[in-house]
Amino acid sequence: MFGIGLPEVMILGVIVFIVCLIGYWVKALIDILTNEFTGSNKIIWLLLVILIPISFILYFIIGAKQKIPKSSIPVSSPVRNLNMFCSNCGKEIKEGSKFCRSCGNKITG
* 38 versus 102: smaller Cβ distance to Zn ion: 102
Is residue 106 involved in binding Zn ion (CB under 5 A)? no
Which one of residues 32, 48, 49, 100 is an interface residue with Zn ion (CB under 5 A)?
100
DSSP-H helix ranges across 1-107: 6-34, 41-51, 56-61
The DSSP code sequence of 28-59 is: HHHHHHHS-BSTTHHHHHHHHHHHSGGGHHHH
Q: How many CB atoms lie within 10 A of CB 69?
A: 8
CA distance 62 to 45: 10
Which of the residues 6 through 25 are near Zn ion (CB under 5 A)? none
* Residue 80 CB, nearest approach to Zn ion (Å): 19
Count of residues engaged in binding Zn ion, rule: CB under 5 A: 7
Which of the residues 58 through 97 are near Zn ion (CB under 5 A)? 86, 88-89
* Residue 108 CB, nearest approach to Zn ion (Å): 12
Residues making contact with Zn ion (CB under 5 A): 86, 88-89, 100, 102-103, 105
